[in-house]
Amino acid sequence: MLNLREYAAAPRLLADYLPWAALVAPGVVLNKDGAFQTTFRYRGPDLESSTESELVAVMARVNNTIRRFGSGWALFFEAVREEAGEYPSSDFADPVSWLIDEERAVAAEEAGSRFESAYYLTLLWLPPPDANARAEKALIERPERPDGAGWRERLLVFQQQAERTFDLLSTAVADIAPLSDGETLTYLHACISSRRHKVSAPEIPVFLDAILADEPFTGGLEPMIGDTHLRVLTILGFPGSTVPGLLDELNRQGFAYRWATRFIAMDKAEAEKVLGRKRRHWFSKRKSVASVLRETMFNEPSALLDSDADNKALDADAALQELGSDLVAYGYVTTTITVADTDPLVADERARHAERIINGKGFTVIRESLNAVDAWLGSLPGHVYANIRQPILNTLNLVHMVPLSAVWAGERNNRHLGAQALIEARTDGTTPFRLNLHAGDVGHSLILGPTGAGKSVLLAMLALQWQRYDDAQVFLFDKGRSARGAVLGMGGVHLDLGVARRPRLQPLKDIDQPAEASFAADWLAGLIAGEGVSLTPELKARLWQGLSSLASAPRSERTLTGLVLLLQDEVLKTALHPFTLAGPHGRLLDGDEEDLALASVTCFEMEELMQQGAAATAVLTYLFHRLEARFDGRPTLLMLDEAWLFLDAPVFAARLRDWLKTLRKKNVAVVFATQSLTDISASAIAPAILESCLTRIFLANERAQEPALRETYERFGLNTRQIEIIARATPKRDYYFQSPKGSRLFDLGLGPVALAFTAAGSPEDHATIDRVMAETEGEGFAETWLHEKGLAWAADLLTRWPGHSPAERAQSQPFRPHILAAE
């Protein structure tokens, strides 16, 4: 037999030690030893937001998946913690929104490095040797296969098992997806390089080891990748018992690492053989040779036994019983944590910190020295031969130790809008949180919580940050003028519909157009019905006849007064009289021209209007109609503060039900905000709201755990642990975000500039705003307002907005980010 070792060169480069050879199918790597591997990206449940029973159920499902693997299979679980990157920049539509985002960027920079974790599972299968195939061929008669068909069949077997595993795990973890070719190469490259960048699949995807190894590897007691020093920790001993998420504390650390767990599976027969050998070994250790001879010669049992050996023999016997029950499987486990830094002292300190955490959980961990290179190689996905430290463990203990729990950082980008996340918020620990209202293509959301807990500030902040999207629109129905400062700061229009200087409306101005005439007929029918008149077919015909006559009149004469003059029915005239200039509501609805200016940011103040009964219904119905013409595909945020005002009226509830179903297609996100959960849950359209509003933000509520409120929170899909988080949260600071993607407690982290515009709701603030608006007539409001709030330095920075002309920017002081956080 030819000895190939004589002709093979000794390994000299890092590539020589890597197992990866070629890409042979989408996301499937062929290794040098003939094994196939593929990788999934996944994210498990958040430990803080999950109840004990939920965690146990998740672990049981994952255990049920892993225990199906036998000899020839290996699984690599890995958590990669890396810096989250710099605060993202955007092009804002106005200087105030831009300045507030710059303030947030500086605060994020001064808070220090932020980290987030990514989680990967690699499946590896080494097909059985050809000897097995020859034995099968001798026993089973099959048609002859062409040359080269064998490896394709094995690849198909591997892909089918990978798909089956994906299906099983998708019922257990929150998010899982297979990696593409490029994502697979990017992931493998990140495991062996200190350089972080995307790697595209080459046209001929072979010699992956040479392609991916782009830095020199230096071995020794303290190995290095390029200029980066590596420190490798390996777990040797385990605690007496395990619980789900045992090492979850590692997910919250403020440094980068690779936490890898390799599981080399065994068939049941092989596991029985290994465990039986262990049992016999420890059983024979119970008595010394002298004790056995004494028993044989004198027929006297030994009085003393080695208790440690006896306990280990019993433990091996219990393991055999667990294996026989088919509830678990056994395999060889190797867990390593690799930290790295260009400064060896920093790398040492990070290794010590990780060691303290792991030892504190009852494990025994060793910092590798002589075995450092092998330990690092053994942590690479697909490398099953390196690192001799591989104790035997069952799959249930394994799932408690691998990185299955996660701290959710939110999605970096809003995939539906094709832009970055709406808000990057603060949380406990070093992991940021990126808030998106959209779940898929649905942006409808609920904001729920008691009064005074920060609802209005959150709504204003959502409106300000929405300006980062191209051609964005914001329409806000407000109560109590809480969003007035933010809207005026953005250069928007604030319309108070209940005061003397309210805008005039002319709902009948366009009735010469068929669509507008049809709307006007329905709108007028609603007014008449609201006055207690039952519209018969005859009355409807007379109403339509009057509208048709009015449509031929000049535009300025198409008023409610003009319609009443043309109507030939006294019942209709009487019903419409309150809405004419001769009635109590005519000053709002009976204009001969319309000065309703709808800007890209428009706020409607509703508090006084909602006290006017029938007029409120008429005005809001018309405003909703006008807004529908603005829903043209641009990113639009429609916010309804104190939504119970709308849910109480059947006509509004019907319109909102329709909007929830249809506005998604027009790129509109509807946000309901209310201080009473029961208003939503008791509404006739509660099923539609709960079904359509996939994103929910809950305000802090110390009474959340009271029995009555607890039941209401549970109807919104919260579990016991999440309700407890809301009860312990700090009002006006903390918010709890819930969506199908995940949940997280966050803090907006507002600076003085943001607070100046979002928290301007006191009577004193409104008096100052009235004075500023009178002095400036709306021009330069933001700059004057910042001076009024003692933020003259921020007012000077407004001219640095990139939307200004170069000459305007040149006149301002240089931008000094440190000033923003100094106040």
Round to whole Å and give the CA distance between 586 and 578: 7
Q: How far is CA 456 from the centre of its chain?
A: 23
pLDDT digits (tens, 9 = 90+) for 391-418: 999 999 999 999 998 889 999 999 999 9
Rg (CA), the chain: 35
Beta bridge partner(s), residue 231: 339
Measured between alpha carbons, how far is 697 from 703 in angstroms, rounded to an integer?
Answer: 17
In this structure, of 147-156, 186-195, 494-503, the range with the lowest mean pLDDT score is 494-503
* pLDDT of res. 349: 96
Sequence-separated (6 or more) residues with CB below 8 Å from residue 477:
603, 604, 606, 639, 640, 641, 646
Judged by average pLDDT, the poorest of 451-455, 648-652, 785-789 is 648-652
- Quote the pLDDT of residue 758: 94
Give the CA distances from residue 632 to residues 543, 623, 660, 784, 786, in Å, rounded to whole numbers and listed in that order: 31, 16, 16, 34, 34
Task: List, as one string, the DSSP characters of 179-237.
Answer: --HHHHHHHHHHHH-S-----PPPSS-B-HHHHH--S-EE-SSS-EETTEEEEEEEEEE
Q: What gap in Å lies between CA 767 and CA 781, rounded to an integer?
A: 14
Termini Cα distance of the chain:
80
pLDDT at 804: 58
Q: Is the pLDDT of residue 823 over 60?
A: no
Q: Whole-angstrom Cα distance, residue 573 to residue 580?
A: 10
**CATH H-level superfamily of 442-503+598-736:** P-loop containing nucleotide triphosphate hydrolases (3.40.50.300)
Of 45-59, 279-293, 677-691, 773-787, the range with the lowest mean pLDDT is: 279-293
* Residues 571, 574: Cα–Cα separation, whole Å: 5
Rounded (5°) CA angle 442-657-738: 40
d(CA 802, CA 798): 10
For the chain, give the percent of residues with pLDDT over 70.
Answer: 90
Q: Taking 90 as the threshold, does the pLDDT of residue 291 lie above it?
A: no
In this structure, is the dihedral angle defined by the CA atoms of residues 606, 607, 608 and 610, taken in order, positive or negative? positive
Q: Which two tokens stand for residue 680?
A: 């939503």
- Which range has highest mean pLDDT (469-483, 499-513, 575-589)? 469-483
Q: How far is CA 793 from CA 113, 760, 815, in A?
A: 27, 19, 10
Determine which of 141-145, 326-330, 711-715 has the lowest per-residue pLDDT on average: 141-145
Q: What is the pLDDT of residue 442?
A: 92
Judged against a pLDDT cut of 60, whether residue 730 lies above it is answered with yes
Lowest mean pLDDT among 317-326, 596-605, 687-696, 712-721: 317-326
Q: What is the pLDDT of residues 500-516, one digit of tens each?
A: 566 778 899 999 999 99
599 and 573 Cβ atoms separated by less than 8 Å: no
Half-sphere exposure (Cβ direction) of 449: Cα atoms closer than 13 Å: 28
Phi, psi of 560 (to 5 degrees): -65, -35
Q: Which amino acid is at 710?
A: R
How far is it, in rounded angstroms, from Cα 443 to Cα 635?
10
Mean pLDDT of all residues in 34-62? 93
Q: What is the pLDDT of residue 38?
A: 97
Could you say which DSSP state residue 225 is in? Answer: E
SS3 204: coil
Longest distance between any two alpha carbons in the chain, whole Å: 128
For 182-241, the pLDDT digits (tens) are: 999 999 999 999 998 999 999 999 999 999 999 999 999 999 999 999 999 999 999 988
Q: What is the length of the chain?
A: 823
499: confidence class by pLDDT, cuts 50, 70, 90:
low
Half-sphere exposure of 819 (CA within 13 A, CB side): 14
The 10 Å Cβ neighbour count of residue 283 is 16
Mean pLDDT score of the chain: 86
Q: What is the pLDDT of residue 295?
A: 61
Q: Which residue in 109, 106, 100 sits closest to 754, CA to CA? A: 100
Cβ atoms 618, 657 nearer than 8 A: no
Token pair listed for 209: 């080891």
Residue with tokens 């385990």: 238
Q: What pLDDT is recorded for position 535?
A: 81
How many Å apart are CA 365 and CA 375, to the nearest integer?
13
Closest CA to 274 of 282, 286, 262, 285: 282
Query: Mind listing the pLDDT tens digit for each residue in 237-258?
Result: 999 889 999 999 999 899 999 9
- The model's confidence at residue 819, banded by pLDDT at 50, 70 and 90, is very low
Contact 676, 451 (CB under 8 A): no
Residue 299 has pLDDT above 90, yes or no: no
Q: Tokens 């920093």 appear where?
A: 346
Please tell me the predicted confidence (pLDDT) of residue 114: 87
Cα 225 to Cα 229: distance, rounded to the nearest angstrom: 7
294 to 289, 290, 305, 306: CA distances (angstroms): 9, 6, 14, 16
> Hey, which residues does 745 pair with through a beta bridge?
736
Q: Is the pLDDT of residue 809 over 50?
A: no
Sequence-distant (6+) residues with CB within 8 A of 682 are none
How far is the C-alpha of 437 from the C-alpha of 500, rounded, in Å? Answer: 37
Residue 448: C-alpha distances to residues 26, 279, 440, 712, 716 (Å) = 45, 59, 22, 11, 10
How many Cα atoms occupy the beta-carbon half-sphere of 142 within 13 Å? 11
- Asked if pLDDT for residue 373 goes beyond 60, the answer is yes
pLDDT for the residue 811: 46
Residue linked to tokens 């007064």: 561
pLDDT for 528-556, tens place per residue?
888 888 888 888 888 899 899 998 889 88
Question: Between β-strands 36-43 and 175-178, what pairing exists: parallel, antiparallel or unpaired?
Answer: antiparallel
- Whether pLDDT at 8 is above 60: no
Query: Residue 602, class by beta-carbon neighbours within 10 Å (0-12 exposed, 13-18 middle, 19+ buried)?
Result: buried
The pLDDT value given to residue 170: 93
